[in-house]
Amino acid sequence: MVSFPVKPLFVVVLTFSLLLAVILLSPSPQFVHTPLSSASSLLDFEIWSVKRLAEWRPCKWWLQGHLTPLPAKSNGYIRIDCFGGLNQMRRDLCDGVGIARLLNATLVLPKFEVAAYWNESSGFGDVFDVDYFIQKMNGFIKVVKDLPTDISSKEPFRVDCSKRKGQFDYRETILPLLLEHHYISLTPAMSQRRDRYPQYAKATLCQACYSALRLTSSLEKKALELLDAIPKPFLSLHLRFEPDMVAYSRCEYPNLSPSSVAAIKAAGGDKKPWTGEIAKSWRKRGKCPLTPNETVLMLQSLRIPTSTNIYLAAGDGLMEMGGFTSVYTKLFTKSVLLNREDFTRMHGNTKAALDYYVSINSDAYVATYFGNMDKMVAAMRAYKGMYKTLFLSRKAFAELTSQGLEEEELKKALWEVHKSDFESGRGSALPDCFCEFKL
């Protein structure tokens, strides 16, 4: 029988065990050195893999609550006059429906104003399914296509609501006018105090905004064609860096191309960029749109692979896109994916409707701004249970770059900011119709 000394054997076994532990527990060299462009290896480490602590879902009092019966007699007819781009008009419509219910009025189909600036001539019925809207609002508020003959030939009495806030103003000031004229039109105030609305008016607003608006069958068919043409999975990116947007922001950007500078100057007219301390303060408040190059850095900080399929949900005239497309090469737009003849016939509202439809059905949605479209898309994605939604923080970017952070240090700091936002679901839905659920 062969025998071995116990102590040397123990040392050999211990040494081998420690070596094995080091090998197993050490990080994989492939992970440490994998570039951002490798989608497969980093898929589990991008921003969407962060565990959420909370999410916003439609409130039960709206979806499952008992409806307050409509009064037997209406106080009159209200038409909501909506202005601006599609998503601004949709916001006005949502608010207006809530106001109409608050005042116990019958809702006339809303009027979408023709606007040359938005290249727009389509009305409510050209974008949204009217019969579906009426059906889904049944029990919440009465909606009519046509007015009674005794008032159908009259124009509604126009009410200025630009400074109205909350139910008390509408009930005390607008209701007497409705009772007097029987038919009024209004555009809701920009700032609404919906927290003062009774629950039945809130529920009506929520129903109109998130359950009752469906695209017309022809427009939905076109939207589905566009959605099917985009390679899957994909991220929808709402990027805002058009001449009018930059001019309106009054922010100054160094190193822009001469053509971009000229376009911004033409769009701004008499408006000049802020200078000195005002400019610094304005930028630190997050008022300056992200450039496409800044957006690239932000996406990389979120560890979004450069091989990601990206649908660009944006209008015409985006500037300085060369740097973006050189990094994120799989970029898709509606102007390229759709039939050219069909696309040229489309107006502003129909183009915006396509971007909206694709964005609420995309695998992920990222916005460089926090405008009307972004708020509507984020809320609708929350309504559908789709939570890969994030707003890039212009304020954090300005603050961190003002501290002198660059490259990897800057990316690391931006990651921490957006990780916190995504964990908490911050900004992902309107609190009027959605409730926070801890996970």
Q: Assign residue 245 a region: left if phi > 0, alpha if psi is -120 to 50, beta otherwise?
A: alpha
Residue 344, C-beta contacts closer than 8 angstroms, at least 6 positions apart: none
pLDDT tens figures, 400-411: 999 999 999 999
3-state secondary structure (DSSP) of residue 78: strand
Q: Tell me which residue of 158, 213, 210, 166 sits closest to 187, measured CA to CA.
A: 158
Q: What is the pTM of this model?
A: 0.86
- Predicted pLDDT at 318: 95
Tens of pLDDT along the chain (439 residues)? 444 444 444 444 444 444 444 434 443 333 233 333 334 333 447 999 999 998 889 998 888 877 889 999 999 999 999 988 889 899 899 989 999 999 999 999 999 886 644 455 678 999 999 999 999 999 999 999 999 999 999 999 999 786 665 555 788 889 999 999 999 999 887 666 676 788 999 999 999 999 999 999 999 999 999 999 999 999 999 999 999 999 999 999 999 999 999 999 999 988 899 999 999 999 999 999 999 999 999 999 999 999 999 999 998 789 999 999 999 999 999 999 998 888 888 878 889 999 999 999 999 999 999 888 999 999 999 999 999 999 999 999 999 999 999 999 999 999 999 999 999 887 665 568 999 889 9
CA distances for 291 relative to 254, 355, 397, angstroms: 11, 20, 11
Residue with tokens 């100057």: 265
- Predicted pLDDT at 67: 80
In this structure, what are the phi and psi dihedrals at residue 158, rounded to the nearest 5 degrees?
-80, 130
- Strands of 11-134 (E only): list them: 54-58, 77-82, 106-112
Residue with tokens 């043409």: 229
User: Residue 388 burial (CB < 10 Å; 0-12/13-18/19+)?
Assistant: middle
Residue 345, C-beta contacts closer than 8 angstroms, at least 6 positions apart: none
Q: Tell me which residue of 408, 419, 387 sits closest to 36, measured CA to CA.
A: 408
- Predicted pLDDT at 8: 45
User: In this structure, how many other beta carbons lie within 10 angstroms of the beta carbon of residue 115?
Assistant: 16
Residue 355, C-beta contacts closer than 8 angstroms, at least 6 positions apart: 236, 238, 313, 314, 334, 373
Single-letter amino acid code for the residue at 283:
R
| CA gap 418, 295 in Å, rounded | 13
Q: Tell me which residue of 421, 374, 372 sits closest to 396, measured CA to CA.
A: 421
Helices and strands, number each (H, E), in the chain: 23, 12
- Predicted pLDDT at 27: 39
| CA gap 419, 36 in Å, rounded | 17
- Predicted pLDDT at 316: 79
- Predicted pLDDT at 119: 53
| CA gap 178, 107 in Å, rounded | 12
* Vertex 407: Cα angle to 402 and 410 (nearest 5): 50
| CA gap 94, 144 in Å, rounded | 17
Single-letter amino acid code for the residue at 195:
D
